[in-house]
Amino acid sequence: MSKLAILFPGQGAQYVGMGLDFPNHKDVLNHVKVLTNLDIEAVITTGENLNETRFTQLSVLTASRLAFDALLSLKPKFEGMTGFSLGEYSGLYASNVLSFDKAIKLVYQRALAMHEATLETKGFMAAVLGLDAQTIENGLKQVQSGVVVCANYNSPVQTVISGELTAFSETEMTLKNLGAKRVIQLAVSGAFHSPLMKQAALKFEQALSEVDLASPSYPLYLNTTAQVANINTLKSEMVKQIYQSVRFQQTIEQMIKDGFTHFLEIGPGQVLGPLVKKINPNVESFSFGKYVELDNLKGWLTIHGFIQ
């Protein structure tokens, strides 16, 4: 029996103009401006500051919300969801754990805390290609010049590492000696999903303590556990998510074990759908992030039996 899951992208999926073709984008972006006093529409339109964490996170969340609203207009039948890093907040909104206002305010605080942490610590992130995660983990234990950890488990052949900039050269040499094809330093401002973000997590924990969470309306699989969220422990997992690994591969594998056969990426970029196919080529995936693609999305949902 077919079973559909929604995927929400994270930081790195952003691009200039994302979400601006959706009919309701003006109202939503104006509302975000009222909540944060930031002109996200100008950021998305011009691209200026779009790659700066405090603007990126709000922009991606808003673009994902616009795409999700369009999806709901088709009355689709989906039974679970997950998000990649920041994308988990789109999932918290889509599963009704957070209202959009609460999601925006929390992501704003999360982004500010992470931005401040990048100014206080010098970190890096890098994609490691052609080496399995266990070998990478073993290699990182050998690194002496700084803390480096696996930040994102993306697929069987791609893992992202994160850590202190002082350790990059030694890490690159160590992993290449173990057989890595490439170690590609990413254009990000800090070592996200690593111990260098613990201070940011503590700041965010204070903001989170003032917010009430509702029980999810749909199963929401978490980055930290690769399991369905439990409302009783959700806040602590949201705090940990800032400095712990994103277990995307493990999450998709668990969702497939739980019967999910089709994965629909909602929001900017086309990153997660292809990753799903690398994790398991036997499942179906589709990516939707532009209003012009709505008819194609409707066709895909209809063909696979996901229109109610």
What 3 state SS string does 202-214 have? HHHHHHHCCCCCC
Flag residues of the chain having pLDDT under 70.
none
Take residue 284 and report the two structure tokens written for it. Answer: 């179906």
Kindly report the number of other CB atoms within 10 A of residue 281's CB atom.
Answer: 8
Q: Could you give the residue numbers annotated as active site?
A: 85, 193
Cβ 151 vs Cβ 127: under 8 Å: no
Report field, pTM of the whole predicted structure over 0.85: yes
Residues with Cβ within 8 Å of residue 203, at least 6 apart in sequence: 109, 112, 113, 116
| CB-based burial label for 23 (10 Å; 0-12, 13-18, 19+) | exposed
Residue 1: predicted pLDDT: 87
| Size (the chain), residues | 308
Residue 49: predicted pLDDT: 92
Each domain of the chain, given as residue ranges in start order, spans: 4-119+195-303, 122-185
| Protein fold of 122-185 | Alpha-Beta Plaits (3.30.70)
Residue 54: predicted pLDDT: 86
| Rounded-to-integer distance, Cα 31 and Cα 177, Å | 51
Q: In whole angstroms, how large is the CA radius of gyration of the chain?
A: 19
* Beta-bridge partners for 246: 152
Residues with Cβ within 8 Å of residue 4, at least 6 apart in sequence: 76, 77, 78, 79, 260, 261, 262, 263, 264, 304, 306
Kindly report the number of other CB atoms within 10 A of residue 295's CB atom.
Answer: 9
| Protein fold of 4-119+195-303 | Malonyl-Coenzyme A Acyl Carrier Protein; domain 2 (3.40.366)
Residue 100: predicted pLDDT: 98
Same fold, 4-119+195-303 and 122-185: no
* Beta-bridge partners for 76: 307
Query: In degrees rounded to 5, what are phi and psi of residue 8?
Result: -120, 130
Residues with Cβ within 8 Å of residue 12, at least 6 apart in sequence: 186, 188, 269, 271
| Rounded-to-integer distance, Cα 251 and Cα 249, Å | 5
Taking CA atoms, 119 is separated from 122, 133, 184, 228, in Å, by 7, 29, 22, 34
